[in-house]
Amino acid sequence: MSKDTNVRVRFAPSPTGALHIGGVRTALFNYLFAKKHGGEFIVRIEDTDQTRFVEGAEEYIMEALEWVGISPTESPKHGGEYAPYRQSERKDMYKDYAMQLVEKGHAYYAFDTSEELEAMKERLKNAGVASPQYNSITRTQMRNSLTLPEDETKKLLENGTPYVIRLKIPRKEEVRLNDMIRSWVVVHSSAIDDKVLLKSDGMPTYHLANVVDDHLMKITHVIRGEEWLPSAPLHVLLYRYLGWEDTMPRFAHLPLILKPDGNGKLSKRDGAKFGMPVFPLEWNGNGIEDKFEGFREWGFESAAVVNFLALLGWNPGNNEEIFSMEELIEKFDIARVNKAGARFDFDKAKWFNQQYLRNKPNSEIADYLASMIVSNSLADRTYLEKLAEMLKERAVFLSDFWEGSKVFLQAPSEYDEQLVAKKWNADAVKGLSALVEILKNTDSLEDETQTKQLVNDAAKNAGVKMGAVMLPLRLSLTGAGSGPDLMEIAVLLGKEEVIHRIEKAIDELEVKA
């Protein structure tokens, strides 16, 4: 790319509901590309379809981007030189461009009613046409300005007869575009239908508004999902017919994000199906079926989500996996984006989160734990930071620190019943009772090695095997049969708390004969 190119990219979502995680990845790739080339990242809200507009969706989109650290330089919220950035607020300008196309002979008025359109589709289906279209062949049999006499067309317009403006696709022509990811894409015009450009309510369709806005906002690169690839040849024709082909942006169509099993595109319903979030933030729609969990509410670090999404369809060319946003910007190369779909591996997403939590300062985790505690004598800052360090090895989400810390903040109120039945016996009580006596005559638990030696001495004094004491000790201290290193737990709890918990367990648990 030439150094004097002022890169301008845009992310243009529709406010029709929650922003899918795939949309976040599209925004991320646009952002990385712009920053890599010292360019501008713009957010434009494409709300031309007012029938699908959902209250709160635009706010959700902006909050989601803010959460993952993708900040636009221009948007409805931030303003900018090319405002407004909502297509509904730009409505008046689109008709002029549609009319230009009509005057140049590249578009036409269509007066067909919904009943006439249905009848046309039915005729074609009965004739064996699998996908009926309004195209260069069928338009010759419909009510439009190409088939009607000029005076009749004029009369219909003067009488206010509802109409749409359709693009006049050439019958026999190859449309070519050089995609930055897929190389040359060639489509024959016979595969393209005469898309509506301007609807009967005066609002433009996505196709017209998209091309006009990208031109007026000086967008240099259009990076969007693979699902828009079939529309790209149509957009190329629009640029050509509007006289903007020389300044047409470069296109890059990103690979699909696939379901965890690799079978088909990831959808919003897959969250419930696979037990995972597929939206950045929680979304509460109008009905129960329109409520979805978010990565944020699951406890994901936003930086981990960014890292995970960046590697869905792009690779850095080596085995590196952990990248900060700054490192992603430095290394991002759109030439290394794959054509094939990328499988949404939720276990990998959790792995990324685990790595980010391990690198999180203990002081931050201690802040989180402190915010969850109402009051507890053990919950001083030093204690909480030690707790954070101990729990890092197993924590996948921030909430895991809280769940894992509970046992350190108060003695267990419940004990693993299966473990009690299997391991809590006379030998266990003998060994633990001996350990209590040793602890009472010990100044403190200094480290894991010293503590393990005390447990070993207790087992010997009681005449039982070390194995008869270890699991019952863990049970006494945590109520469970697994967790962080047992000696680390004991040292962190301290001598007095360990004695208290052992005595509590001996008092509450029944020794079975």
Radius of gyration of the chain from its Cα atoms, rounded to whole angstroms: 32
The Cβ of residue 471 has, within 10 Å, a number of other Cβ atoms equal to 18
Helix (H) or strand (E) holding 122: helix 114-126
Selecting among 95, 121, 268, 348, the annotated active-site residue is 268
Contact assessment for residue 313 and residue 223, using Cβ atoms and an 8 Å cutoff? no
The vertex-280 CA angle with 276 and 282, nearest 5°, equals: 75
Secondary structure of 411-477 as H, E, C letters: CCCCCCHHHHHHHCCHHHHHHHHHHHHHHHCCCCCCCHHHHHHHHHHHHHHHCCCCHHHHHHHHHHH
| DSSP designation for 261 | T
Paired sense of beta strands 257-258 and 342-343, if any: parallel
For 315, counting Cβ atoms within 10 Å of its Cβ (0-12 exposed, 13-18 middle, 19+ buried), the class is middle
268 is catalytic: yes
Residue with tokens 């007095």: 496
Q: How far apart are the first and last CA of the chain?
A: 80
Task: Round to whole Å and give the CA distance between 296 and 277.
Answer: 9
Across the chain, which distance is largest between two alpha carbons, in Å? 112
Burial letters for 88-124: b for 16+ Cβ neighbours within 10 Å, e otherwise? bebbeebbebbeebbeeebbbbbbbeeeeeeebbeeb
The 10 Å CB-count burial string (b at 16+, else e) for 162-185 is ebbbbbbbeeeeebebeebbbeeb
Active site residues per annotation: 268
